[in-house]
Amino acid sequence: MAYDGFDPYSVLGIAQTATAEEVKLAYRRLARRLHPDANRNPGAGAQFQYINKAYEMLSDPAQRQAYEKAHASDDADRPYFTLRVTPSRRRIAPLDEPQVVYLLADIIPDPRATEARFRRDTRLNLVLALDRSNSMNGARLNEVKIAAHQIIDHLNEDDIFSIVAFSDRAEVIIPATPVNDKPAMKARVSMMTASGGTEIFQGLNGAVAEARRYLAPRLVNHILLLTDGHTFGDQPQSLQLARTAAQEGIVVSAMGLGQEWNDEFLDELASATGGTSAYINSARAVARFMNSHVRNLSNVFADRIQVSIAPDSDIKLEYVFKLQPSPQPLTIGQGFIPLGSLHRNRPISVLMQFELPPGLSNGFRSVARIVTIGDILAERISSFHTMSDTSVEVAADAMIENPPTAILDALGKLTLYRMQERAQEALEQGDVRKATQHLENLAARLAALGETELAQQARSEAQQVAHTAALTDKGRKTLKYQTRHLLLGSDGGEVG
Amino acid sequence: MKLCPFCGHQNRPGSLFCEDCAQPLFEDAKVLTLQTKQIELPGDVDARSTWGTASFEKHATVLLHVRDASEPISLRPTENQLTIGRADNTSPIGPDLDLTPFGAMDKGVSRLHAAIIRNEDTLTLVDLNSSNGTYLNGQRLTPDTPRVLRDGDEIRFGRLVAHLYFQEDLRA
């Protein structure tokens, strides 16, 4: 484990002038808060190692002196990215019932990231995993080939590129190699033909093998998987592989074409690695989606960003969602949640929902400690570390303040996404009336926000559900990915 | 608990949007939606910029003023449903409030059209699966789903428009 950007003083929350006694007290106080025995949250377990490390560095005079000497000049310590956390309310009233607090975390790249030296040094290790099952035959496969040609055209010579085509087995069309013979690569793409069924594990497995050939911490190691089919039986195996790949530093993004593919599975696959999932509703849009995805990759400044959220032991983390650069639901339940890449000109924003217990006592109290780590590609720094402790003041006379606009804006749109999720959940529980109602409410809100077309879609799905107790495949995917899409540009890049 | 003014769902304090219907719950929420809201209102409804109170005192009564009628109707809702509709001698059950004198037949009011229910300190309106729908401030209600009423609300039963006013009990 590396400790770049790791400041033991801020981890323990003490001044540089702290005495040995103060160091010990600070350590004990934090250990009570975040020790895995006292705090069952996976984030707390993951963060406890940092507290131990900080204590180890500062309790040993020799190590403490060495740290001070190494960090005597402040310039070297300028952060590569900063973490800013905004609560929905800074003052809350003590209540005899549970209450909700939201935190918005922005991971903001340092302005240095746009300097030429950082730009030049973003190199890709890109694998395209392309479905070429029977159903891809015709326009779909043609569009995929066009997209692949365009991607090859835009790659640099020192990027690493490969293509794995899969149906019920995988075939390496282009083995991982530096891009120095573009015409030959394009010729191989042109020869792809469609046949067989869809087994995503086959494709993923082949793609991971290609990604591993040149796998390096200073590269953007990325698999872009495109499928139009439902994979059967191999989902658990695929997810397991994706998690392993994520630990090695490979991000998997997934694109589903048409209506047949399994959106829940691809969402989970992408979220588990910090990648993104997208819905492409017509073959014509394939090239645009794939190209812009790859173009974004060359804007990466820091990669393998992960966040660890450790609420205090009496506080419950209920929901986490990545708002930007690409909106994606995240899974709680792991110590570090992969967030994917940090672009040089755009922050990563994550919205969290917590439940605070009843009967809080007056005064300042901490809500959660949030740690982000990530690799700075150009500097070959791994696990650059930054953290933030968020507190709120509990006071009986807490005035109702207006929540920050950024939170309201994001949450207003996220609520719409949640509404379609709830409709889906209600349907799974067989509650048709509830599902219909959620969809009608969603339609009303969308209409009020001027999203007429999407509102229409929600309304017609509500009718569909009322009659058949099921959404149409197309409607379900449209509502899910379009409401998610609304989050884009909620405060597009203004932060920081 | 924080009662949603739109659907009556009980949200935890601190929630910013209703968990059940996605409507905003914070103080100046109107500002966010007002501009677009005017567009979706049907032509015969006045766009309203402010809301009346939702709190309904223990001894308060309700005045229902049907448009173009000379006298408002005074109602005292109970915890049981106060049903509103159109009396019909072929049907055994009549509504508590009969709108026949106000042209209910022509305006598409169902026999049991809607009901007003008294809760602890609010009033709710529920559509009883009427043929032509019940609208609250221009928004059509989902059948059997109660909505909280506010002082000054506009209610439409089919095409019959009425305004609702809370009246505090002066003896209290």
- Predicted confidence (pLDDT) per residue in A451-469, tens digit: 889 999 999 999 999 889 8
Nearest CA in chain A to B144: A433
Nearest-angstrom CA–CA distance, A407 and A393: 19
Dist CA A442 CA B21 (whole Å): 7
Amino acid at site A328 = Q
What integer pLDDT is reported at residue A237 of this predicted model? Answer: 95
A287 and A430 in a common domain:
no
pLDDT (average), residues A13-20: 87
- With pLDDT > 70 as the criterion, what percentage of chain A qualifies? 96
Provide, as residue numbers in chain B, all residues whose Cβ is less than 8 Å from the Cβ of A412. 16-17, 24, 32
Burial B70-100 (b: 16+ CB within 10 A, else e): eebbebebeeebbbbbbebeeeeebbbbbbe
Q: Which of B1, B16, B127, B139 to mutate to test the interface with A (most CBs of A within 10 A)?
A: B16
Please write the tens of the pLDDT for every residue from A200-259: 999 999 999 999 999 988 899 999 999 998 888 899 999 999 999 999 999 999 999 998
Task: Give the model's pLDDT for residue A493.
Answer: 33
User: Which of A445, A465, A490 best probes binding to B when mutated, by most B CB atoms within 10 angstroms?
Assistant: A445
Set of chain B residues whose Cβ sits within 8 Å of the Cβ of A486: none
Shared domain for A147 and A229, answered yes or no, is: yes
DSSP string, B83-102: EEE---TTSSPPPSEE-GGG
pLDDT in tens, A404-458: 888 988 898 899 999 999 999 999 999 998 999 899 999 988 988 888 899 999 9
CA angle A163, A164, A165 (to 5 degrees): 115
| Main-chain phi, psi angles of A216, to 5 degrees | -150, 145
Q: What is the pLDDT of residue B51?
A: 62
Contact A437 B145 (CB under 8 A): yes
Strands (E), A337-479: 337-343, 348-356, 363-376, 381-394
pTM, rounded to two decimals: 0.75
| Owner of token pair 């792809």 | A192
Nearest to B36 among A411, A419, A448 (CB): A448
3-state helix, strand, coil in chain A (%, to 5): 45, 25, 30
Which token pair is A207? 């793609």
- Residue ending a domain, choose from A297, A312, A338: A297
Average pLDDT over residues B77-102: 82
CA–CA dist A409, A86 (Å, integer)? 14
Mean pLDDT of A41-55: 89
Q: Which of A248, A312, A242, A241 has its CA nearest to residue A270? A: A242
Report CB contact under 8 Å: B17, A440. no
Residues A356, B14: C-beta atoms closer than 8 Å? yes
Give the long-range contacts of residues A12-17, CB within 8 A, separation 24 or more: A12/A51, A12/A54, A12/A55, A12/A58, A13/A389, A16/A68
**Given A246, A263, A297, which residue is the final one in a domain?**
A297
* Predicted confidence (pLDDT) at residue A133 exceeds the cutoff of 50: yes
A416 with B15: Cβ contact below 8 A: no
Tens of pLDDT, residue by residue over A219-236, are 999 999 999 988 888 999
Q: Under an 8 A CB cutoff, do A445 and B23 touch? A: yes
> In what order do the strands lie in the sheet containing A277-280?
A170-178, A160-166, A123-131, A219-227, A251-257, A277-280
Question: Residues A4, A145: one domain?
Answer: no
- Clarify whether residues A218 and A284 are in a common domain: yes
Q: Is residue A381 part of a domain?
A: no
Judge whether A380 lies within some domain: no
Closest in A403, A416, A441 to B26, CB measured? A403
Is the confidence at residue A140, as pLDDT, over 90? yes
Q: Which residues fall within 8 angstroms of residue B104, CB to CB, at 6 or more apart? A: B85, B86, B98, B157, B160
Predicted confidence band at B45 (pLDDT cuts at 50, 70, 90)?
A: very low
pLDDT per position as a tens digit, A365-398: 999 999 999 988 888 888 888 889 999 999 887 7
How far away is chain A from the Cα of B26, in angstroms, using its nearest Cα?
A: 8
Same domain, A234 and A156: yes
Lowest mean pLDDT among A27-36, A84-93, A175-184, B88-97: B88-97
For residue B88, give the nearest of B110, B108, B103, B115 by alpha carbon: B110
Residue A475 lies in a domain: yes
In a domain, A96, yes or no: no
Q: How many structural domains comprise chain A?
A: 3
Nearest to A441 among B16, B22, B40 (CB): B22
Instruction: Identify from A90, A95, A100, A316 which residue to disrupt to test chain B contact, counting B C-beta atoms within 10 A and taking the largest count.
Output: A100
What is the rounded CA–CA span in Å between residue B26 and residue B5? 11
Share in percent of chain B as helix, strand, coil (round to 5): 10, 30, 60
> Given the structure tokens 């820091």, which residue do they identify?
A302
Q: What is the DSSP string of B15-33?
A: -SB-TTT--B-STTHHHHH
Which of A89, A402, A441 comes nearest B14 by C-beta?
A89
Phi and psi, residue A193, nearest 5°: -125, 160
**Which residue of A100, A400, A407 is in closest CB contact with B27?**
A400
CA–CA distance, A189 with A179 (Å, rounded to integer) = 14
Q: Do B17 and A412 touch (CB under 8 A)?
A: yes
Judged by CB atoms closer than 8 Å, whether chains meet at B142 and A447 is answered as no
Sheet strand arrangement including A348-356: A81-87, A99-109, A348-356, A316-324, A328-329
**C-alpha dist (Å) from residue A213 to A25, A160, B130:** 48, 10, 67
A94 vs B27 pLDDT, higher one = A94
Whole-number pLDDT of residue B151: 85
pLDDT of B122 > 60? The answer is yes
The CA distance from B8 to the nearest CA of chain A, in Å, is: 13
Q: Measured between alpha carbons, how far is B122 from B55 in angstroms, rounded to an integer?
A: 5
β partners of residue A412: none
pLDDT at B169: 63
A66 and A170 housed in the same domain? no
Which residues of chain A make contact with B145, given a CB cutoff of 8 A?
A: 437
Q: Exposed/middle/buried for B52, CB within 10 Å: 0-12, 13-18, 19+? A: middle
In this prediction, residue B87 carries a pLDDT of 84
CA distance B96 to B136: 20
The predicted structure's pLDDT at residue B30: 44
pLDDT at position B46 over 90: no
Q: Is the pLDDT of residue A106 over 80?
A: yes
CATH number, domain of A20, equals: 1.10.287.110
Choose between B5 and A135: higher pLDDT.
Answer: A135
Judge: B33–A448 Cβ closer than 8 Å, yes or no. yes
Write down the pLDDT at residue A108. 93
Residues in A whose CB is inside 8 Å of some CB of B read 88-89, 92-93, 95, 97-102, 355-356, 400, 402-403, 407-408, 411-412, 415-416, 418-419, 436-438, 440-442, 444-445, 447-450
Q: Is residue A467 part of a domain?
A: yes
Q: A300 to each of A45, A415, B18, how far by Cα in Å?
A: 29, 29, 37
Q: What's the domain range around A43? A: 1-74
- CB-CB under 8 Å, B16 with A407: yes
Q: For residue A346, what is the DSSP state?
A: B
What are the chain B neighbours of A465 within 8 Å (beta carbons)? Answer: none
Yes or no, beta carbons of B142 and A437 under 8 Å apart: yes
Cα separation values, A28 from A18, A23, A174, B29, Å: 15, 9, 55, 44
Q: Give the contacts of A243 (CB within 8 A, at least 6 positions apart).
A: A272, A273
- Alpha-helical regions (H) of A155-218: 182-190, 200-213
Dihedral sign from CA coordinates of B42, B44, B47, B51: negative
CB contact under 8 A, A418 and B22: yes
- pLDDT at residue B31 in the model: 41
State the nearest Cα–Cα gap between B20 and chain A, in angstroms.
Answer: 7
Whether residues A45 and A152 fall in one domain: no
For residue A137, give the CATH number of its domain.
Answer: 3.40.50.410
Does A262 lie in the same domain as A138? Answer: yes
CB pairs under 8 A between A and B: 69
**Angle of helix A473-485 relative to helix A452-468, nearest 10 degrees?**
140
Q: Do A139 and A65 belong to one domain?
A: no
Name the phi and psi angles at A13, rounded to 5.
70, 40
Does A22 fall in a domain?
Answer: yes
Which residues partner with A223 through β-bridges?
A127, A252
More confident residue, A430 or A5: A430
* Higher pLDDT, residue B27 or A233: A233
Does residue A353 belong to any structural domain of this protein?
A: no
Mean pLDDT of all residues in chain B? 78
**Which of A39, A74, A109 is the endpoint of a domain?**
A74
Convert the pLDDT of each residue in A285-334 to its tens digit: 999 999 999 988 988 989 999 999 999 999 999 999 999 888 888 988 78
Whether residue B14 and residue A402 make contact (CB cut-off 8 A), yes or no, is: no
Rounded CA separation B85/A267 (Å): 49
Contacting residues of A for B4, CB less than 8 Å apart: none
- DSSP H or E stretch at residue A123: strand A123-131
Across the range B49-62, mean pLDDT stands at: 72
pLDDT exceeds cutoff 90 at B95: no
- A177-208 burial by CB neighbour count: b if 16+ within 10 A, else e? eebeeeeebbebbeebebebebbbbbbbbbbb
Average pLDDT, chain A: 89
- Yes or no: say if A448 and B41 are a contact pair by the CB < 8 Å rule: no
Residue of B10, B15, B27 to mutate, interface with A, max A Cβ within 10 Å: B15
Distinct helix (H) and strand (E) counts, chain B: 1, 13
Residue A85 has pLDDT above 60, yes or no: yes
Q: Tell me the chain B residues in contact with residue A415 when contact means C-beta distances shorter than 8 Å.
A: 17, 22
- A68 within some domain: yes
Q: Which residues contact A98 (CB under 8 A, 6 or more apart)?
A: A355, A356, A357, A358, B12
Same domain? For A128 and A58 the reply is: no
Strand ranges, E, within chain B: 2-3, 10-11, 61-66, 73-75, 82-85, 97-98, 112-118, 123-127, 134-136, 139-140, 147-148, 154-157, 160-167
Beta-bridged to residue A355, according to DSSP, are A100, A316
d(CA B156, CA B66): 9
A408 and B7: CB-CB below 8 Å?
Answer: no
**Subunit contact A415:B12, Cβ cutoff 8 A:** no
